[in-house]
Amino acid sequence: MKKRLVSVLLAVGLTAGLAAGCGAKDKESKSEEDGVTTVTWMTSRPVDGEIDQVMHEIADQYSEEKGGKWKIEFETTADRPSYLQKLKTLIAGKNMPDIIDIDADPYCQELVDAGMLVDVKKFLEENDKYDDFYPIALKYQEFTDGTMYTLPLEYHVEMTWYNKEIFDKYELTPPATMDEWLNVCKTLKDNGVTPISVDGVDRWPVQRYLAMLPFRESGNDFIIDLRDGKAKMDSDTGREAAEFMAEIGQYFNDGFAATDYATAQSMFLDGKSAMYYIGDWEIAAMQEAYEQGKIDYFYLPATDGGKTKANEFCVNSGIGMAFNAETFDEKTKDFVLYVIENYGKLYAAKQQMSPIRTELSDEVEYSDLYLKIQDDMQKTGENFLKPWDTYLDSNTNTVMQDNLLLLASGDLTVDEFCRLVDNSIAENAN
């Protein structure tokens, strides 16, 4: 019989959890005697966030329908680096939970190659659930070879929010091209206005800017070739991206490298910066200012002769759920199917974009901002900018993100940046 791991981490923490590995069999036997199936989910989501709330609600409903003979134990670590450290330690100790949160990144590929994860695409197709999802929500979860081992629970577009009052004061309009965007930034800075507030502490918001021009010119081809050692950062495309990073970086808020997520957002909402790049997951934060006519948004500006279109930009379905191949029994499969059937309506009712196609409830008064963005999402093209940190090995990603802060602040040259990235790729690319 396949072993099912029951989490003791919730009660006694990581150290005790690792020590309890040898006791998992006794715990399993006790669960069998009680007739209760226990599924463990190690998750990296905001505590009491919308996904957390909906999944707890679904788990409670499912358990009730099963007469209390089924339950799920959540261990939540919202801080992603800490989460990954815990996860890797557990898996290395052969204590992999039943369900985990993971991106379709190189580490996930290692788990797939080791036969540890369920083929989610195959599972969805076999159960006639693949078409229940929006195509891009699933394509985001895929590896470059088209295989898919993670299930999305969210669906997002990313955009640049702008302060309409500041734009009107200086007779500016939302930029349609990348050159226009830089000109808008220059005008604002020349008038003593901070053009863009940026969360540099988390690194990924800065990395988005580096990815913008390559995406406009070649979709995700450049980052895939860079990852595989077939392209160089020190190439025409790579240097152009780095030069854009160096140029737009001069328009970031002072001290952006030490500015965290909340501070960058507050700067924008308080009118201390004119623009702020973030996704629709911040609808709630933007709602009041949008209703008051103070802010609006624009999507990634275009380039002449580029491969991607104006309606193609960063669309993502976030970190996915993956399932332990050893413990993915019929009861767990039944629960996953139950999630797919019930999640969309509950998640959308919280004014969140569901990756599962669902009709909006007549009982919910959706905001104009929500409906506007949802309509945008129905019109997006086939190409989407996939975040570079999901492609790169962890060492190269760290090298790139850390040095991007220096490049954007003017403390590192384009030549030096390209050399550091290319050296890391040469050392770490598979």
* Cβ–Cβ < 8 Å for 36, 70: yes
Q: Break the chain down into helix, strand, coil percent, rounded to 5.
A: 50, 10, 35
Mean pLDDT value of segment 295-309: 95
Average pLDDT over residues 110-119: 98
Measured CA angle at 390 (ends 72, 358), to 5 deg: 55
Query: HSE on the CB side for 101, CA within 13 Å?
Result: 27
Arithmetic mean of pLDDT, 351-358: 94
> Which candidate, 287, 58, 285, places its Cα nearest to that of 153?
58
More confident residue, 26 or 152: 152
Percentage of residues in the chain having pLDDT higher than 70: 92
Q: Which tokens hold the place of 303?
A: 């380039």
* CA contacts within 13 A on the Cβ side of 79: 5
Domains and CATH numbers, the chain: 9-155+317-359 (3.40.190.10), 157-315+383-428 (3.40.190.10)
Tokens 């990313």 appear where? 158
pLDDT digits (tens, 9 = 90+) for 15-63: 333 333 333 333 332 244 478 889 999 999 989 999 999 999 999 999 9
Q: Please tell me the distance from the alpha carbon of residue 90 to that of residue 239, in angstroms, as a whole number.
A: 40
Q: Residue 210 corresponds to which tokens in the numbers above?
A: 């580096």
CA–CA separation, 384 and 376 (whole Å): 14
Distance CA 241, CA 226 (A): 13
pLDDT in tens, 212-268: 999 999 999 999 999 999 999 999 999 999 999 999 999 999 999 999 999 999 999
Question: If you average pLDDT over residues 125-132, what whole number do you get?
Answer: 98
pTM score above 0.95: no
What does the block give as tokens for 332? 């767990």
| DSSP H or E run through 333 | helix 330-348
Residue pair 268/276 in contact (Cβ under 8 Å)? The answer is: yes
pLDDT in tens, 372-393: 999 999 899 999 999 999 999 9
Degrees, nearest 5: CA angle 280-285-288: 110
Averaged pLDDT score across all residues of the chain:
91
